[in-house]
């Protein structure tokens, strides 16, 4: 007997994470201009630069997870 593999459809959306404050914004939020130029200005801190592109689940984004951030180890 062959059991049908239950595949859960997950919609992965593209998000942009600011390298300054670390805020995550949806690509849809940005205007077409930003997409064309490739520069996504942060609406939180105002950092104008290429935000890191991260792929996250739509559900996960809704909750809004706050990452602790990279902790620098004393060297």
Task: Using CB under 5 A, list all residues that contact Zn ion.
Answer: 18, 20-21, 23, 42, 44-45, 47
User: Are residues 4 and 36 in contact, defined by beta-carbon separation less than 8 angstroms?
Assistant: no
Our CB check for Zn ion shows the closer of 48 and 57 to be: 48
Our CB check for Zn ion shows the closer of 13 and 23 to be: 23
Our CB check for Zn ion shows the closer of 37 and 44 to be: 44
Collapsing DSSP to helix, strand or coil, 54 comes out as strand
Residues 6+ apart with CB under 8 A from 48: 39, 41, 42
| Minimum CB distance to Zn ion, residue 34 (Å) | 14
């Amino acid at each position: 007997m062959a059991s049908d593999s239950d595949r859960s459809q997950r919609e992965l959306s593209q998000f942009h994470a600011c390298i300054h404050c670390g805020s995550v914004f949806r690509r849809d939020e940005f205007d077409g201009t930003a997409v064309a130029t490739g520069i996504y200005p942060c609406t939180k801190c105002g950092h104008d630069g290429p935000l890191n592109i991260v792929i996250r689940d739509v559900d996960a984004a809704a909750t809004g997870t706050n990452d602790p951030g990279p902790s620098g180890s004393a060297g």
